[in-house]
Structures are given as structure tokens and as C-alpha cells.
Structure 1
Amino acid sequence: MLKLFFRHKWGPALLILLLAALVFFYNLGDISLWDPDEPRGAVIAHEMLQRGDWIHLSYNGHPVTDNPALVKPPLYYWSIALFSALQGHVDEFSARLPSALAGITTAILVFFLGARIFGTKTGFLGGLIFISNHMLFEQARSAEIDMTLTFLITAALFLFYHCYHEHYRPGWLYPAYAALGLAVLAKGPVGVIVPLMIAFLYLLARRDLKAIGKIKLPAGLLIILAVASPWFILEGRAFGAEFFFRQNFERFFHAFDHIQPWYYYFVKLPIHFLPWTLLLPAAVAYWFRRRKEKNPGRTFLLIWFIATFVFFSLSQSKRSLYIVPLYPALSLLVAEALERISSEQNLASLLPWIRGGAAFFALLLVTAGGTAAWLAATRFHDLARPVALLVAAALAGAALLYRMIRKGEGRGIVTAFLVCAFGLELLMAGVVYPSIDVKSRSS
């Protein structure tokens, strides 16, 4: 049955679409917009529709250029306004819908890229890991721009990789450059700098810099300018000076907000990639063992991950959501390691790494359940029902992981991880966040 399922790509792709839609859409509009970033986008989109002006952005009746924190390109505001116009008003659902759709389409791209590089099974697991890590769950359900930016960068890099390994079909490159133009309209120069840097480093690693002449870069830059520049020209010089120089270059080299130390992402990434962080030691052990093996796809993904991580670490201004564009690559790298360790006999010596990660996950679930029960009993009596559900789910997940550890099968443990991860996400969306939302509104 599984062989039949993985024989064609469309079955796994459809299942990823359905699972992503379930996780990202469930209760999407039933939770208030959380400060500070989510309400801003909704208000700007609302005023855009009210005034009928999609060029000059305003917030509370004043131009966004009056407040440097609001000086952002318009793509996300446009997308909120577009979906809101279809239903007649801006609300929590329409404000978050663009991120949810971007999360779903990025998950599908992750699957197809993984299937292209490693095979359908690994692509499928990569898509599931992408959907089920904590950061993507948060960003695909948030009225913020970074999920849309991640989709556009992933689409461009997917098209670049496909074109490069399919005899330089230029027809694949033009939509890639169009995606980069939209990425500039999403978040500015970073939407071009990061993916072009990844592509250049990949060609450098392949010792194929002559390919730069074949990827139609001059034409590509014209496409990027054609897509991105009209709005910046129409919006005016004041926006451009504040946005390009202060919000981008000055923030990168001499940050005036979100100032963090160089090791910031070394701390934040493991937290936000949970629960899959617990299996990263197994993946690292696998990558080290296969370090001499020539695999262009793995090299591409490693460059994507490392270059993005280093680039944003060099910036003085840091936030966890800035590195969301590296999550597609990381998800596929971990998926390849877990799939190979679970299926190849000569890698059986790495299975203890997977069992160890699962044991730690089970311990975390039991600890979290116990802590939640204690808090409900001593401080938050009104949260007894959601906490009871959380405790029951945590204990059930721990029991499932324990059973799979006892069996000792890598695929069984990975499946248990997936069940626990998706179960926790649905519990957060359906019980925990609504309870927190009600409590915060009543306080």
C-alpha cells in the first residue's frame, strides 16, 4: 500500500496540502490579533480599502512615513486588502489568510524539491517536518510578512535548482526572477540578496561560475526592477530613503532596535525548530558520516541553510522570524538523515541517536504536562479544562513515544514524532491559544 502511495508524487502532495490546511486554518480567525505587529497590518489594509488608495499607505489616518516602525513595502498589506475585499471587511481571518496560504504552498514546494533531490519518501517527510515545527506553525498562522517572504524565496530557489539541473531551461528562470521582485515588495532588498547569494555560492561550490552567464542575470534584474520599482517610484522619495537606508542597511550594520548578540540564532533556532531539534544530533551524525559523498542536492540545501543563518547572524538587528527562509532547507536536510538512518542497514549504528531524541521528547511531554497541571491547580483555576486536555495529550504522546522506543524502529519513532507534533499543534490552535486569548481579553 505504501509503495503504491509513493509511486506517484500527487498523492503525497495532496496529503501534505490537506494536513497543512488543517493545521494552519484551524481556528485561524477565532483568536484576536496579537500586539504589536498583527493589528498594524490589519489597520493599514482596512484604511487602504476605505480610502481606495493602494499606493500611499496610512495608519490611523496618517502616512506610514510618519512612523518609522511602519515603513514596510506593501505586498502583505495588499494581500490582506485583497482577501478582505472579497468578504467585505478586514478581520482576524483575512489578516492571517495570506500567511496560511503561503505556508501551505511552501510546504508543497518543500515536498517537490525534496522529491526532486532525494526521492518521494524523503520529500514527503520533509514537507511534514516543515509543517510540524513550532516556528512554521506560528508564522503560518500570524498576520506578518515573513511566511510570504519564505514562500517567494523558496519558489525562486526551487525554480533555479530545477533550471540548473535541467539543461538551463530559461523558461523556469523568468518566474523565479518575478518571485524575487515580489520578495522585494514583501520585505525589501533582503528578498533578492539572500536567494542570489545562495545561488552564487552553490555555483561556486560546483566550480561552475560560467553558469552565471546562462542564468539570464541581466534580464532577471530587469524583471525584478519591473515588478518592484513602480510602487517605490509612485510612493515617493521619503519612503525610499527611510526604508532602504535606515530600515535595511543601517539596521544591518548599526542596529537601532532588536539588537542581539552574534550567538542569538544558535539559541533561538533549536527552540523554534522543536520538536525536530531533538533529532538534530542524529541528523548531524548522519551528515558527518556522509560528508565525502557527492550529492548536489544536499550541497544546495546545506548552502541554503548555512548562508542564510550566517547572513542574518552578521546583522546587528535580529529576530527569530528573520530566519524563517532557512526552514525549508533545514526540514529537508533532517528528513533525508532520518529517512536514510531508518532504512539503510549500514546506518543502524545511528539509531540510538533517534531513540535518545525520542526519549527526551517523551520526558519533555511528561514534564510539560506535570507543570501545566500544577499551574492549573495553584494559580489558573479557570484554565482547568484546557489544561486537562493538554495533560492527557502530553501523557498519550509520551506513551506512544515510549512504545516506539521499545520497538526500536527508526520509522516508527519518526512517525510517533509526527503524531505528537501535529497533535500538539491542533491542541494549541483549538484549546490553548483560545483560552489564553479569552483570559487576556478579560484581564
Structure 2
Amino acid sequence: MSTVPNTPATRLPVLAYLLLAVISVLLFLPGFFDLPPFDRDEARFAQASHQMLESGDYVDIRFQDEARHKKPVGIYWLQSAATRLVEGASGLPKDIWTFRIPSLIGAVLAVLATAWTGARMFGGTVGFLAGLMMASCVVLGVEARMAKTDAVLLSTIVIGQAALASLYLNRHAERFGWAAPLAFWIAAGVGILIKGPIVLLVSGTTALVLAVVDRRAGWLKRLRPLVGLAIVVAIAAPWLIAITVKTKGAFFAESVGHDMMGKVVSGQEAKGLPPGYYLGTFWVTFAPWSFLALLAVPWAWRHRKGTGPVADAVRFCVAWIIPSWLVFEAVPTKLLHYTLPVFPAIAILTAAAAREHFLRRTDAPRWGLFSVATVLGAVGFGALTVAVAVIPYLVDGRVDPVAVAMLPVVLVLYALAVRLFAQRRETQGFAAGLAAAAVLYAGTYGAVLPGIDGVWISRQAARTVAAVRPCADSVVASAGYSEPSLVFLLGTDTRLTHGEGAAAHLAENPSCGLALVTNREEAEFRTALKGAEPVPLGRFTGFNYNTGKRLTLTLYGAARP
């Protein structure tokens, strides 16, 4: 196995990258067009991007009349551009999937950048396998289907880390060109415009740990920091200046003072969780490869010291993983995807350890570790698969035939993958694991989740409104149900209010107005009508997965004289 950086043996052929791109798209596409907008982040991002297109204001970010100053503008520009291109070319009406296009492209780029980095570190086979693991792991598959920042951010992080790795692994070379520094700083500038300083957190902690461990930091001069900072300023500063002027500094007060510091100091949005959360959920988020990652730990530990390209590459990946992971664990606000920026390094080390097993058949197997990894991996991946099968029954009270048929196929394929790895038939093991992931994702995103009507309350509302809308420009006032997806599906003018407000809306718009009222707001709504009897136009029930509550909603029109 060649591990010498930047030699022909460490380069994946173009066909390998094309194959990875095709595999990634095939894994990411199920459900991409069919899944309704998720609450709450995806719907907020997509609606704010849509309002940019509506208003023509590409500086300020708004959700209805509310300023949305939590994240920089980059993702909104990308989503608006993708939607404008698709709608302009096809004439299609507003749909959530057009806003997801940047996430899909970002996820594919992250897969390819992971493969490129792994190939430069440990050889082409490792790079290909690392890209394959990223394409098929659970958390990236989720982010590729959601109109949010994280898949695009990941692509900028991996590209930046690839450039940093190239500098580090070749730090003893006499000359080094501009390609890596330019890639690093352009990725940093774009990353800052997507989600702020997270990209610099990952690269900065990586460089700091390497400098401390090696007791040398001279190679960092090859980043050309003065030129690099100028590049970052050129990319990010124009909008930052414009939004500062337009909001009189309110953007920074909200995004840094409230959003970012709120996550660091306390558990924001009821997401405060203790350290260890990401270690516990890793068995699901990196599935189906989480059990292999645990098996790679002894190999990485054994190769972390010394000199030579293998030790350098392992040290770089460890410096990429550990400090960022510790920061994420320490911050009270925790969401499943927050550790995604370190998954490429985990995938590369896991693939490298597996690759060594391809070539060395004389090592005594670590059956104790293998047993623990198998149990933890099976619990994570198995629990996810079973959950997909039972959710339709728990929410809608029905048995989904696709979910039932999928369950044994996925579990058998996963068990086969584990058995093949135990037999050191790694190539077949990767194929079985990939097949298990492909079947799970195709069934889950393509059929099971879109078919669970109860969780898509806003979709039910949109269908009900479309069937009975009295006027083309009818506006809905929603009392007691205020998820952002409702605004995205019903229109920017949708009023999110309470029972009294919904009653007032009907009184003000007796011909065209509509009121969507939850069972909890029904009494206030009727009291505010002062004896008038509204016309029920539709009723449906659902489960709000953000609040954990079941709701019954009735769509009303004003009483007819």
C-alpha cells in the first residue's frame, strides 16, 4: 500500500470520482423531490430564500416580517440562485426540492473531497472507501436532502482540510505552489459566508494541535496568511458591511451575541445535552460504518507517533477529529449533525485501518473489540431500521408494507456485512454494507416517510386549502399551529396567530379569508366570533414532531349571510 503523498499511486482515477459521484447521487436522491419541507430549520431557510426572490432584496434575510439574523447570507444566495435557475428554465411553481439543490451538490462535493484527501494520505483504495462511507453514512444522507447550511458547509471544510493536509504532508518539500493556499482560503471565505467561523474552528484547532504535538509550526507560513486573509475579506466583507449598514449592527448582535453565544453558554432551543451525547449517537449517525470506526481505533493509536507518511497522515486526522469533537461535546447545545465536520477524517482512518487488513492476514483478530463493535453498531443501525418500520403505525395507526418488507432485507444485509468483515472478506463486506444502506435509504426516504401523512401537518393543510380555497389570493390565519413549513407551503402572507386573531381575520375577510384552528384554540376562536357560526371546510389530525403533541385542525371559512 502506497502512502507517499502526492505520487501517482495515491491518485484516484477520474472514473473512480465519477463512480463515487454517481453512487452519492443515487443514495441521496430517494425522497429528494417527494419529502415535504422539514420543520423547523429547513422551512425557515427555504422560506427566507424564497422571500429574497419575491422582494429582490439579497442583503437582508427575513422570515415573513421577522429579521432572520442567525446565519450569514451564503446559503440563501445559493438556494435563491438554484431556485431561480430551475424555475426560469422549467416554469415550475415553487417547490421545496429546488431549495435543496445546494445541499445535494455540497454533499457530493464533500464525498469527492474526502476521497481526494484519503487518497493523498493512504492511497487510492483508502480514498475511494472513505468517500463511499461518507456517501452512505446516515447523517450526510439526511443533510443532503435538507435545504440547510450543513452539507454545503461540510464541502468547504473538507476542501480546506484537504489543502491543509497537502501542506502538512509535504512540509519538508523545498518548494510549494499556490494551489493549496488558494484552495484553503477560498474555502474558508465561502465557509464563513455560509455559517460563520465554524470552518476556521476546525482548521484552526487542527493546525494548533499539530503545531503543539510536532513542536513546529513553520509549515503554516506556506498558507500565505496575509494573502489568505485578503481573500477571505474579499469574499465575505462586502455582504458583512452591507448587512451591518442596513441593520445598524443588529445582525452581529443577533448572530454572534444571541445565536452563537447562546449555543455556547446554554442549551438553545431546548437542545441542552450533557457531554458524551455525540459518542452515544455516533452508532446511528455514522451507521452502517460505526462498528468499523471502533475497530480502527487501535490501528490509529499504534500509528499516531513516529515519522513517515503514515504517521503524519494519522496525526493529521487525529488532530482534525479530537479537538473539534471535544468542543462540540462541551457546548451545551447539541444537534445530531454538529459533529459532521469531523466524519471525513473518521472515514479516512477507518478506511485506512480496513485497507491494512486487506493486505495483512497474519494479525491475530481482536475478537473482544470486534464483539463490542458489532453489538454497538448493530444496536445503532438496527434501532434506526426498526424505528422506520414502526413509525407509520405509531403515527398513522397503519402498517406500511414497504417498511415491513424492507426491515428483514436491511438487517440481513447488515449482518452479512459484519460476518464478511469477521471473515476478512472486506471487499464483499463493504458491498453488503453499502447495499444495506441503499435499501434502507431508498425505502425510508422514497416511500415510508413521505407516506406518513400524520407527521406532515402542513402538507395536509396545504392540500385542504387547495381543495376549498374561495379566492386565488385567499390568506390563511393559523391559530395554534405555527410551524414554518406552513408559511412555505401556504405563502408568505400566512398569518400565524391565536384563536382571537383567526376570528378577526375571518371578520376582516369574509369572502376570501380562511382560518386554520387547532383543537386547543377552538374555544378562544369561537368566543371571539361572538355567536357567529363559521363554515367548516375540512378537518384533519396529525402529530407535531417538534412539540411531541397530537393535533386536530379544522379549516374554517366565514359564516355566509
For the pair 1:259 / 2:243, whether they are aligned, the reply is no
Q: Which has the higher helix share?
A: 1
Q: 1:231-380 maps to which residues of 2 (within 5 A)?
A: 231-236=239-244, 237-257=249-269, 258-294=271-307, 295-350=311-366, 353=369, 357=373
Q: Which moved more, 1:307-316 or 1:15-24?
A: 307-316
Which among 423, 429, 436 is matched to residue 445 of structure 2? 429
**Are residues 435 and 292 of structure 1, via their aligned partners in 2, closer, same or farther at CA, if it must alter by over 3 Å?**
same
Q: Distance in 2 between matches of 1:220 and 1:115?
A: 26
1:212 matched to which residue of 2? 220
Which has the larger share of strand?
A: 2
CA offsets 1:61-118 (integer angstroms, 9 cap, x no match)? 34325xxxxx221111111100000122542211211111101011001111111100
Counterparts of 1:407 and 1:12, CA distance in 2: 27
Change (3 A) 1:405 1:18: closer
Cα deviation, residue 439, structure 1: 6.0
Q: 1:352 to 1:77 in 2, by over 3 A?
A: same
Q: Is the 8 A contact 1:156 1:180 kept in 2?
A: yes
The residue number in structure 1 matching 2:185 is 177
Identity of aligned residues (%): 24
Q: What code does the residue aligned with 2:213 have?
A: A
Distance 1:265 1:60 in 2: 34
After superposition, residues 394-409 of structure 1 pair within 5 angstroms as 394=410, 396-397=412-413, 400-401=416-417, 404=420, 409=425
Aligned to 1:68: none
Q: CA RMSD in A?
A: 3.0
Does structure 1 residue 201 correspond to structure 2 residue 209?
yes
User: What CA deviation, in whole Å up to 9, does each residue of 1:111-154 have, x standing for no partner?
Assistant: 11111100011111101111111111111111111111111111
The reply to whether residue 92 of structure 1 matches residue 96 of structure 2 is yes
CA-to-aligned-CA distance 1:282-308 (integer Å, 9 cap, x gap): 112322343445421111111101121
Q: Return 5+ residue gaps in structure 2 as ranges.
A: 1-8, 88-92, 461-541, 543-561
Partner secondary structure for residue 129 of structure 2: helix
How far off is 1:218 after superposition? 2.1
Q: Which residue of 2 aligns with 1:57?
A: 61
Residue 74 of structure 2 corresponds to 75
Q: What TM-score, normalized by structure 1, do the two folds share? A: 0.88
Task: Tell me how far apart the structure 1 counterparts of residues 425 and 368 of structure 2 sit (CA, whole Å).
Answer: 10
* 2:274 aligned partner, one-letter code: P
What displacement does 1:324 show? 1.2
TM-score (norm 2): 0.70
For the structure 1 residues 87 and 437, does the alpha-carbon distance in structure 2 shift closer, same or farther, using more than 3 Å as the test? Answer: farther
How far apart in 2 are the matches of 1:239 and 1:359?
47
Paired residues of 1:278 and 1:361 also in contact (CA < 8 A): yes
Q: 1:309 Cα deviation (Å)?
A: 0.2
* Residues in 1 aligned to 2:394 and 2:51: alpha-carbon distance in whole angstroms: 45
What CA distance in whole angstroms lies between the structure 1 residues aligned with 2:205 and 2:236? 19
Matched, 1:101 2:100: no
Match of 2:405 in 1: 389
What do residues 135-186 of structure 1 show as CA deviations (whole Å, max 9, x unaligned)? 1111111111111111111111111222342643233212311211111111
1:365 and 1:397 in contact (8 A); partners too: no
Matched letter for residue 216 of structure 1: R
**How far apart are the structure 2 equivalents of 1:383 and 1:183?**
43
Q: CA deviation at 1:355?
A: 7.4
Instruction: State whether structure 2 residue 25 is matched by structure 1 residue 17.
Output: no
Output the CA distance in 2 between the equivalents of 1:285 and 1:425. 31
* Residues 275 and 201 of structure 1, relative CA distance in 2, 3 Å threshold: same
In 2, distance between residues paired with 1:242 and 1:360?
Answer: 40
Larger gyration radius, structure 1 or structure 2: 2
Task: Letter of the 2:206 partner, please give it.
Answer: I
Say which of 142, 147, 150 aligns to 1:143: 147
- Determine the C-alpha separation between the residues in 2 that align with 1:177 and 1:128: 27
